Amino acid sequence: METPNLDPPSREALSPNGTATTERAKQPAAAQQLLGRLDTTEATIGVVGLGYVGLPLAAEYAAKGFETRGVDLDEDRVDRLNAGDNYIEDLDDDAIEGLVEMGRLRATAHYDGGDEVDVWFLCVPTPVTATNEPDPSYIEAATRAIAPHLRPGQLVVLKSTTYPGTTEDVVAPILEEEGPDGLTLGEDVFLAFSPERIDPGNDEYTTANTPVVAGGMTEACTEMARRALGQIIADVHTVSGPKAAEMEKLLENIFRSVNIALANELAQFCERVDGLSMWEVVDAAGTKPFGFMPFYPGPGVGGHCIPIDPHYLAKVAKTHDFETSFITLSAQVNEEMPRHVVDAVIETIAREPVRMQDAAVLVLGVAFKGNVSDTRRSPADEIVRLLRAKGVGQIRYHDPHVEAYRVPEGEDTNGRAGAVPSVELTPEVLRRHEATVIVTDHDAVDPGLVAEHAPAIVDTRNALGGIEDPALREKITLLGAG
């Protein structure tokens, strides 16, 4: 994130021609109170969950002059932030330190003083269970934690990606049942859903300049969310209610899931046709200026949304007697890609004069995408698990963005723990591994170094596409190329 403007906005900037004041008068008394505090930057912002979504959001409000409190159960994260230590790559270290020093941004591991907060943003994880069932437990816990602190003039905005109906069927009942008596949603307290749109590693689109969507339980709720978000984001698109906003977020991510699955399936076809490369085909199709958007194959999908959103939609679809067959199939194609990659690695090792239990594999990149440190649901997890299950003797990794890496729930057939040893990327290290598999294409990795010194390479990202030497290309097995 670029260093924020630390000057609070003027009332004129927020209320051109006095229209905001006029609109405020049409709202319930509690809403008028909240709007007044927002327009004068007197409102206190509370952000629950200080990860890739929550901390950038908190930083933007603090930079606009709002007192901003972050709540996170990770006490190490809380201590780091309160010391001015930024831990999110996309944020500017000096900007975070400055906001903390000015007292605009602070963190805590508890909800004490929550009644002083005017706007709550819930930015908590929304994982799936081992059977791919949606797990709303983090949302429920955060909602229960803020419910006792509710008072007239507060807004609660859920930002965690979830299935349609969560805001109305999960969050609202908890607030109504466990909040103070006498408060009415839409009149005293306001509730809305506004999905996050964070793209880790994207320097062009940040929290501040990426348009957002918001839908509230009532018209007043929607307006409160629009005005609160409008303090830091110029373009806030409102929809009819929380369900539309929740579904919109799923559409964004499932659109990508489906198109990546198409590229992955066609890549497997191209591998069977001598001389045919899916990478060349996509680049050629991308020259069409309309009706096509390029998506590339890869080792699988990762991150906090794309791998799980199809399952969230499938769950709610079943309650309406509907099967999302096409979407579910696409998710399955993507989920099978790590196995396809491992098969290629095993075939590569089989061509070397070494037994499987004596072979060494170097996993190059364990983050879920290039140039970030985020390893959540990275394809590397399943690739390492499968390589261990195949009996590969040594598995190591190199990732310039990830200092330590542990495969979740990962032990091999010999009972070795989930931690994977990290190594420096040197000619000697590359030569010591029978196979190098490029899972993540980080810019900091020198493709020439890898191509020259690795005995055999499985390239799942076309990271070595610029290598033209025929002798070096003979060592490369490219995903999606026959």
Tens digit of pLDDT for each residue in 14-56?
Answer: 444 444 555 666 788 999 999 999 999 999 999 999 999 999 9
Q: What percent of the chain has pLDDT over 70?
A: 93
The set of residues, in sequence order, having a beta carbon less than 8 Å from that of 402 and lying 6+ positions away, is: 366, 367, 373, 375, 422
Give phi and psi for 215, each to the nearest 5.
Answer: -140, 125
Q: What average pLDDT does range 306-315 have in this prediction?
A: 86
Token representation of residue 391: 């009996």
pLDDT over 90 at 307, yes or no: no
User: Residue 427's pLDDT is what?
Assistant: 98
Fold of 271-478: Rossmann fold (3.40.50)
User: Residue 18's pLDDT is what?
Assistant: 45
Q: What average pLDDT does range 378-405 have in this prediction?
A: 96
User: Residue 101's pLDDT is what?
Assistant: 97
Amino acid occupying residue 101: E
Start-end ranges of CATH 3.40.50.720 in the chain?
A: 11-241, 271-478
pLDDT band at residue 314 using 50, 70 and 90 as cut-offs: confident
Distance CA(465)–CA(448), nearest Å, equals 10
Give phi and psi for 134, each to the nearest 5.
Answer: -60, 140
Distance CA(82)–CA(466), nearest Å, equals 45
Q: What average pLDDT does range 324-340 have in this prediction?
A: 95
Distance CA(234)–CA(412), nearest Å, equals 50
pLDDT band at residue 134 using 50, 70 and 90 as cut-offs: confident
Range with the lowest mean pLDDT among 126-130, 283-287, 466-470? 126-130
CB atoms within 10 A of CB 474: 8
Give phi and psi for 278, each to the nearest 5.
Answer: -65, -30
Q: What average pLDDT does range 401-419 have in this prediction?
A: 72
Average pLDDT, the chain: 92
Which neighbouring-strand residues pair with 46?
Answer: 69, 120
- Could you tell me which CATH number the domain at 11-241 has? 3.40.50.720
pLDDT band at residue 8 using 50, 70 and 90 as cut-offs: very low
Q: What residues act catalytically?
A: 305
CA 367 to chain CA mean position, Å? 12
pLDDT band at residue 128 using 50, 70 and 90 as cut-offs: confident
Instruction: Between 72 and 5, name the one with better pLDDT.
Output: 72
User: Residue 20's pLDDT is what?
Assistant: 52
Q: 411 in helix, strand or coil?
A: coil
User: Residue 16's pLDDT is what?
Assistant: 40
User: Residue 9's pLDDT is what?
Assistant: 39
Q: What percent of the chain has pLDDT over 90?
A: 85
Q: 48 in helix, strand or coil?
A: strand
pTM of the full structure: 0.89
pLDDT band at residue 176 using 50, 70 and 90 as cut-offs: very high
